[in-house]
Structure formats: C-alpha cells, structure tokens
Amino acid sequence: TFVLAVEAAADTDSSSFVRPLALEAISILAKNVPAHSAIPASGASLLYAQCLAGIAHSNSSPGLCGALCRAAAHTLGPFSFGSLGAVFLPAVIRQDKQADKYLDPARALGLSSAIALSDAIREYADMLGLPLTLKEMGVGKNPFLKSLSKISHRALSNLSNPSLSAGEAQKHIEQILRSAYSSKE
C-alpha cells in the first residue's frame, strides 16, 4: 500500500485528484502503523488507506518501483510485492534525478527531503525485520547477474512514459538493481 501511495503521489503526470488521495493514504498509514510493531493499530483506517492508495495508483502512471517489483517477482522468484518494494523504493528515490517529486510524500510523513524518506523506509523495513537487499532475500549473485538485463528490460516495458531514452533508461534501471542487490546505503 505504501509503495503504491508514494508512487502515485510522485507521479507528475497524473490528474489533479491522484496526489491528494495518495498523500492522505500516506498520512493515514503514518498515523496508524505503530513504529514499534508490524501489527496495525486500526484495521478500518488501514483499509481506508489501502482504498485511497489503490484509487490513486489506478489513476496514475506505473512507477519504476512497481515496475521493478513486478519484473523481479517474475524473474527472480516468488517474492512479495511489499518485500521487494522495501528493497527497491529507497534505491529508486535515491537515484531519481527528479527526487523533488518525492517531497510531498516525505512531508506527509513529517520528513524534509526525499533522502530522509528513503532512509525512513529502510529504517522501518529493518525494524520490521524485512530484508534490505536482494542478497538478503536469498538471491544469489550469479542468478542475479544473469537476470539483470531481463529484469531491467521487463521493468522498462512496464513503464508507460520513461523519461530517458530506452538505452539510458535500461542502464539506469540496472544501476538501481545493482544498488538494491547489495547496497546498505
């Protein structure tokens, strides 16, 4: 839910109602998911956040993190979208040349920058015991390297309007994947 909401809020080409819905979903999640526990405080509030995030996501362009999650799940194995999102979203945010588009989602969490958002996602994932890298998820180096081009190509094909040329975009995606494989940054 969080990945979908952040990506919808960061979509600069979406309609005028997408960002407010996505930001409200982020705010609800921030208020209702205790920082010390994976157990939600309010099921109704989380359902509301999921609905808002789903509506926002359905009315926005596919984001790179979601595209990477789908491509990696199809190529590397049956990993959950949430676990892959926790690995990919910080890397996507950190390596986005237009990181300012993540300022509103960061502010919805009381943070001041896109980097702070990336750090907060990693800290929360670590606190919940989620893997922070593909390597920690059990993806071997050789299978990863063999599938790197395939994953980046699949992710690129899931994007409706990449901001870079196909060759540049594929290189950028491979860079994000390499960072997500073993980086702790």
pLDDT 10s digits, 136-183: 999 999 999 999 999 999 998 888 766 667 788 889 999 999 999 987
Burial of residue 16 (CB within 10 Å: 0-12, 13-18, 19+) is exposed
**Percent of the chain beyond pLDDT 90?**
56
* Residue 17 pLDDT class (50, 70, 90 cuts): very high
Residues 6+ apart with CB under 8 A from 44: none
53 by DSSP, 3-state: which?
Answer: helix
pLDDT at 162: 63
pTM of this structure = 0.87
Q: Does residue 93 surpass a pLDDT of 60?
A: yes
Q: Which of 51, 56, 53 is nearest to 14 (CA)?
A: 56
Q: How distant is the alpha carbon of residue 74 from its chain centre?
A: 17
| Alpha carbons within 13 A on the beta-carbon side of 171 | 5
Take residue 48 and report the two structure tokens written for it.
């509301």
Could you give the angle at the alpha carbon of 128 between the alpha carbons of 112 and 11, nearest 5°? Answer: 40
For the stretch 45-84, pLDDT in tens is 888 999 999 999 999 988 899 999 999 998 888 898 889 9
Distance between CA atoms of residues 146 and 124, nearest Å: 30
Average pLDDT over residues 4-17: 90
Number of other CB atoms surrounding residue 93 within 10 Å: 26
pLDDT at 23: 95
173 by DSSP, 3-state: which?
Answer: helix
Q: Does residue 42 surpass a pLDDT of 70?
A: no
| Alpha carbons within 13 A on the beta-carbon side of 164 | 14
Question: Are 17 and 59 spatial neighbours (Cβ–Cβ below 8 Å)?
Answer: yes
Q: How distant is the alpha carbon of residue 154 from its chain centre?
A: 16
Number of H-type helices and E-type strands within the chain: 9, 0
* Residue 19 pLDDT class (50, 70, 90 cuts): very high
pLDDT at 118: 95
DSSP 159: -
* Residue 41 pLDDT class (50, 70, 90 cuts): low
